[in-house]
Structure formats: C-alpha cells, structure tokens
Amino acid sequence: MADYYKQAHLQDFGRIGEAGSKALADKFFAYYGAVFEDGALSEREKALIALAVAHAVQCPYCIDAYTDASLRRGADMDQITEAIHVATAIKGGAALVHGMQAIDAARAKGAL
Amino acid sequence: MTLRSEQHPLQDPQAQRARLEAVAVAPFADAVARAGWTHGLTPRPPRVLQLNLGKRCNLHCRHCHVDAGPDREEVMSDEVVDAALRWIDRGAFATVDLTGGAPELHPRFREIIAHAAARGCHTIDRCNLTILRAARHTDLPAFFAEHGVEVVASLPHWRRPNTDRQRGDGVYDASIAALKALNAAGYGRGAPRAVLTLVHNPAGAFLPAGEAAMAREWKAGLMREHGVTFDRLIALNNLPVSRFLADLDARGDVDRYLGLLVDAFNPATLPGLMCRDTWSVGWDGTLYDCDFHQMLERPMATARPDLRHADLDALAARRVVLAQHCYGCTAGAGSSCGGALA
C-alpha cells in the first residue's frame, strides 16, 4: 500500500491540474472550496461530515485532512468519534438492510 | 507539575531557544525582511502596559507558556509595581493589561486596577476563571464591574473534555461557575464596561481556524448547556514555548510544528503584531516586547530594558526582537493577546 498512498499526495493534490485537464481541475477546486465555506451548516459541522464520509469511503488522505480540519475548527474527540460512529452505523446499516432482499429471495423460493 | 519542579531540561530558557534554533527553517528575521520589512520590525508608540505580576498560579495547565503553578514564587516586587504606577500616572498607556500566573494572587492586584481605572486606562485581567471561585477572590466579579475591567478569560473549549484534559480535572465545572458569577455581575451581556472575552487555544499541535464560526458555536453551546453568555471569543495559536514546547519535544514533533508555523507565515499579520505597541514587564521589572520573549528571556533591544529606568526616546528607536517562536504569532490568521490579526 505504501507505494500507492503517499503523504505528499495530500500536499500536492491542489496541483493535479498541472498534469492535464486544468480547466476541469480548477472548476473542481473552486466548487470544493465553496462547499466547505460557512453556510447553513458551520465549517465545523461540514468538516465532521467530511470526516465521517472519509471513513465510509476509507480515504486515508481525507481522514488525515478532515481530522485536522475538525480539530482546527474546535471539534473535540467526542464529536470526532461520534461522527465516525455515524459513518459506521450507516455502513453497517446499509449492509444489514440488504438482508431484506435476501429474505425476499428466500421467501420467493419457498424457504421462508 | 511545572517544568521547574520536575527539573526538566527545557525549564531553561536558553535550552528552549537552542531547541527552536536547531530546527532547519529560515530565521524569522529573514521572513520579515522578505515581506518587505527590510529594517526589521519598528515599534509604534506604546499603547499597552502588560504587567506579568508573577508566575504563581492555582493551576498547572499542560500548555502554559509561563510554566506557572502553585510552586512558583516569582512575584512582582513593590518597587516594580510602584514604577508601573508612575508610568500609568504619566499617561503613557491607554491600556493596562495584567497577566501572570494568576495575576489576582498578587497582593497589590486590586490597587493596580483601581489606580489605572481612576486614570482612565482600559484595564484587562487575564483570568483563568477558576481563581474567581477560590477563597478571598469570589468578590472579584463585583470589583471588576465597579472598575470597568475587561475580563479576558482562558477556556480551552466550551465543552468539558478538552478543558479538563488541558487544565486538570474539575477545571471545567469551576470555570462554568465563574462564568455564571461574571454574568451575574453584568459581564458578557454587551455592556461596554463589563466585557467578557473568552480565549480558546487548540488542544494539540495544530492551528485554530474559523474564529467567527467558532464564536457562534460557543455562544450557542454555552447558552444551551449552562445559560452562560460572553461577548467575544479569540483563538490563539499555541507558541512553541515552555510546557507546550516540552510536550512537542517529548512526542518528537517540534520540527513538524515549527514547519507548520513557517508554512502558514502570513505577512498580513506583521503590521498589527502586539509586540509593536506593547511593553511586556516581567515580575522583576525587565522590559520585553512580548510575554513569550519574557519567558525565553529575550529583553527589549535597548541599553537598559527595565521599567524603572525606561527611556521613551531610546525605546522608540529600538527594533523589536525577532526569534523563531515569533512564527507562532504570524501563522494563519495570526495570534496576539487580542486574537487573530488578519
């Protein structure tokens, strides 16, 4: 994994457009920046949402970046770990709720 | 435990300076010069007389840059206090700012406040809150209200975990009780002569961000949980000095943290740096450009850096002392005793 995930990628991410499709990258980063501005949700709340999603998609770059962002914006460890449990509940719940499909399939075959 | 009581090598200011200077980053003076201040930082007319009344404190917080605690005995002498009162009489300072340790423990604390307030100075008490719940100090909120003192109170976080982790078990509850007492005395309700400012500093080695959004959340949270109000929140950067430096060093994180501060260097913070218009006076009367220089024993660059012998003209001609820890005040939105700078 070390060959694929490098800490320097995070610092260099903003320059990804230099390799090609710069206009698209610029649009992405402008959108990205706007998403995380203070709005109906605070910057701290958005950072915690991002941190939860980062765990759900298991992105180590995002976990690093949004742990830092959450701490900088005043989140404490109770809030950070609660956000991670929200991601865990949704991922676990998403697996479990598909059990209803298995139940339907089994019922269709007369097994239930 | 203070660094001194545990005989920690970094209790020595010279050892702290050497540790910071060993990090391979550009000298702060070079960064200032590259930002266009080629002759260094010039002082402005003095505005704030900040008196560090001593290192005694009822707490011993993890990040204290003073290495203050109950075992410290350094206290400003009567001779230095008298010199400060004479400077206040001369009308040289618009603001008199008392800090420590816990400045309230100084026997002449109330006299200095009353003296400065009677001469029209804006007065500030840098308060750890818990001292207001200690014996002989519970009447301080009323005293502050009588003299129009601004209370600048440190509270690491509006919730309990980060506060008690940084300051000690029970500090959160005592701080909330003190805030309620200040509210009862009229503080934190928008009155110009009863200003309650809270000070946040990060729980670890990262920079605070979003001071305005944080203030909104703190106000909502403290009101919801405790019915407490305050006027404004300022977020300070942790400077790599004293106990915070020792903490970084123990985790092998000094180089990364100083690098973080260097990378976040913001030239827009330079004009408003507090060192340009503050006289920071040590417990022994020595003059410094700021409280952090004081802890690292880097006096003002003048022939006699002592409040008892200060010469306004000579001090106006000096340059502010620049050192590696100064990167802490210029990082990100900047940091000063008044909060963010840019």
For the stretch B187-212, pLDDT in tens is 999 999 999 999 999 989 999 988 88
Q: What is the rounded average pLDDT of the residues B4-13?
A: 95
Q: Give the pLDDT score at B136.
A: 94
Residues A59, A29, B213, CA angle at the centre, nearest 5°?
Answer: 85
Look up the pTM and report it. Answer: 0.89
Task: Point out the residues of chain A with pLDDT beneath 70.
Answer: 1-2
Residue in B149, B157, B212, B160 with CA at minimum distance from that of residue B339: B212
Q: Order of strands, edge to edge, in the sheet holding B48-52?
A: B232-235, B196-200, B150-154, B122-127, B95-99, B48-52, B278-281, B287-288
For residue B221, is pLDDT > 80?
Answer: yes
Task: Report the gap between the CA of B207 and the closest CA in chain A (Å).
Answer: 6
Higher pLDDT, B35 or B165: B35
The question of ipTM being above 0.90 is answered as: no
Q: What is the pLDDT of residues B45-89, one digit of tens each?
A: 999 999 999 999 999 888 899 999 999 999 999 999 999 999 999
Average pLDDT over residues B21-25: 97
Q: At what angle do helices B140-147 and B109-118 cross, to 10 degrees?
A: 20
User: HSE of A62 in the Cβ direction (CA atoms, 13 Å)?
Assistant: 15
> In the predicted model, what is the mean pLDDT of residues B89-105?
96
Task: Indicate if the pLDDT at residue B342 is higher than 80.
Answer: no
Peptide bond into B101 cis (omega under 30): yes
* Chain B interface with A: residues with Cβ < 8 Å: 157, 159, 161-162, 200, 202-204, 206-210, 212-214, 216-218
pLDDT score recorded for residue B62: 87
CA distance A67 to chain B (A): 11
Considering only CA atoms, give the Rg of chain A: 19
Return phi, psi of residue B87, to 5°: -65, -40
Q: Which two structure tokens, joined as six digits, stand for A68? A: 């830092």
Q: What is the mean pLDDT of residues B115-131?
A: 98
As a whole number, mean pLDDT of residues B226-253 equals 96
Phi, psi of B75, rounded to the nearest 5 degrees: -140, 140
Q: What is the pLDDT of residue B336?
A: 67
Rounded Cα–Cα distance for residues B193 and B144 (Å): 9
B22-46 average pLDDT score: 96
Which of chain A's residues have a Cβ under 8 Å away from the Cβ of B210?
38, 42-44, 72-74
pLDDT over 70 (residue B184): yes
d(CA B152, CA B99) in angstroms, rounded, equals 10
Which A residues, 9 through 48, put their C-beta within 8 Å of a C-beta on chain B?
Answer: 38, 42-44
